[in-house]
Amino acid sequence: MGCIPRPPPRSAGASRPMEKKNSNFLSILDKVGKVRSLDRQKLLDELGRAYQEMEALNRSLAEANEQKTKLLEQLKLQASDLEQQIREDSLTGLYNRRYLDFRIENEFSRAKRYNRNLAVIMADIDRFKSINDTHSHLVGDEVLKVMAHLFRHNLRTVDFVARYGGEEFVMLLPETPSSGAILVCERIRREIEGYKWGALRPGLAVTMSFGLTCDINVADHAAMLAQADARLYEAKRGGRNQVRF
């Protein structure tokens, strides 16, 4: 058998180009890795800045929401105060005549629509001008405040009482027949008569007259109020400190 010839051995010079190529390739890879590393760091930095900006924005939004909440609370308080000023008498804390006009119209309409009882009462402090002239207007103001307290003490939560003007008051008693309304008036009248007014000012005595109606078969709420006023006049003319129906 013949011998297979061996390939000639590589010379040292033949391996140098390959080593150079390998070195260049590794250098390129190293540069690419560095670029990628730089890009990654740059991306992380940008993400960090974006996160900080988002946190700052969230804080600003939270502060804005807090300010908005406080502003809404202030507006609610102001609206409540304004509504109170519109509806209430500043001296006695009772409802005022403006709100009475609104309330009596509604109560009258409801009573007419459903054929329900409604008592309208007009009350007036007897000789109130004399109280002011004799004991001072400050004492007169205190008398009005006491009256407001006695009204609240003797009326139900569904009832309504307003300062009509000066020393006059109007009460609305829904779902109340004349017999019940008379009892309420008499109870208040007796409490006023028996109140210890001398503790407020020695020699002070206070009474009140009442006129009431339960007649809903009239033209409107104004006519019903006029009836109560006419009954009050009768109580005054009849000697005061009494209830007329």
pLDDT value for 64: 85
Model pLDDT, residue 74: 78
Helices 97-114 & 221-237 angle (0-180, nearest 10)? 110
- Alpha-carbon dihedral of residues 212, 218, 223, 229, nearest 10 degrees? -20
Q: What is the pLDDT of residues 146-200, one digit of tens each?
A: 999 999 999 999 999 999 999 999 999 999 999 999 999 999 999 999 999 999 9
Residue 131, pLDDT score: 98
Query: What was the pLDDT predicted at 15?
Result: 54
Cα(151)–Cα(147) distance, integer angstroms: 6
Q: Which residues are catalytic?
A: 167
The set of long-range contacts for 197-202, using a CB threshold of 8 Å and a minimum separation of 24, is: 197/143, 200/139, 200/142, 200/143, 200/146, 201/135, 201/139
Q: What is the reported pLDDT for 4?
A: 55
Nearest to 204 by CA among 195, 213, 215, 217: 195
- CA 58 to each of CA 51, 64, 66, 166, 187: distance values in angstroms, whole numbers, following the listed order: 10, 10, 12, 58, 64
What's the chain's Rg over C-alpha atoms?
A: 46
Burial class (CB in 10 A: 0-12, 13-18, 19+), 144: buried
Per-residue confidence (pLDDT) for residue 22, from 0 to 100: 58
Low-confidence ranges of the chain (pLDDT < 50): none
Residues facing residue 170 across a β-bridge: 122, 162
pLDDT of residue 31: 58
